Chains A and B, each alone.
Chain A
Amino acid sequence: MPRRNHEPKQPKIGQGQLSLSLKLETTDRNRRNVDADDFFFAAEKWLRALKIFAKEQGEHVKWEIVDLRKSSALVEVQPVKVKSGKPAPQLVRKWEQGLKKIEDTGKPDPKFTPESLSALHDFVFSIPTNTVASFGNGAASERHKVTPMTQRRIEQALAAFPPEPRKEYVAQGSLRGLLAVLDSWNPDERSFRLKLPMAPAKPVKCTYRDASLTADLGESFEGMVEITGQLRYRPEQPWPFAADVERITTLPRKPKVSLKDLVGLVRLPEGQDSVSYVRSLRDAE
């Protein structure tokens, strides 16, 4: 009897009824069975990617399990139109073609929208460690592994989409700068401008409600202060454009303690220097 190197052929689902499969294998030789948590976690991400792909293609389908085996751990699904109950093989073909193009070129394929590609990206980067996942289309010979190259190509394709416009956002924090100009004493709209050392041409409009915040500043006008409160950022901009101030701290005009004054104030444990100390801290986290 001839020796077979490949897996046994899958039972045919029927003419035109293409399916897609996910197979997980463990790389641990001592434990051949795939962890159930790993399998369901990856399968859930994979199914989510398929659902989003179908939705973005305008197909109203459900995914039916047509094969489920323990041999490693394999699940095979096919899309079935919800309305007619008939299979939707064209969806499988589009998935296969789009995925192949992305894997070959690292460029986005029109069949994958940013949303469906993002779901695919989420799946390939959530494959549990010590596990090998394979994509398939129902035919065992056409199954192929998700490799670091697959991940890279999908990441490249996703990066090729122009970033979605993002909105302004708010973060609690503090900011240091020169308290330059008091704009308004209007009780309903008290504000001043803070000139940032790293962005002197773009002063931050700081609004505040509590009049005592500036009443006590005295000499701090035109000196360095630290404001604390809600900072308003525009996308991609490192410094906020506005702030709702809750507290103002006056900073000394001249350095009171310089770097030289810090020399030798702390003794690290024997045998550690600053680099190994910091590494041990961070590796322990």
Chain B
Amino acid sequence: MRVMKITKDLIQHIAKLARIRLDDSQVQKFTQQMGDIVGFIEKLNSVDTAGIPETNQVNGMENVLREDKVENFPRMEELIACSNNPIENNQIKIKKSI
């Protein structure tokens, strides 16, 4: 039984958060498909997880530290040249952000 209803408004809200624009037919399709997917993942509600810790990292590595020093990428100009935006003084020039 599906507990949660996925609406077109919710899909449009999520798309906006994710910086993706959807046309009407995509909103229609994704609303239905996300409804199916969310219905499927709600199966997890039937698992009793009271007091169970969360797993974020699985192979036991923790607090892997390194010295805090600056290292320049050896081929900086080539790396910046991967951008298709205008380059000025080894920096990528973009539109104003606010």
Are A and B genuine complex partners? no
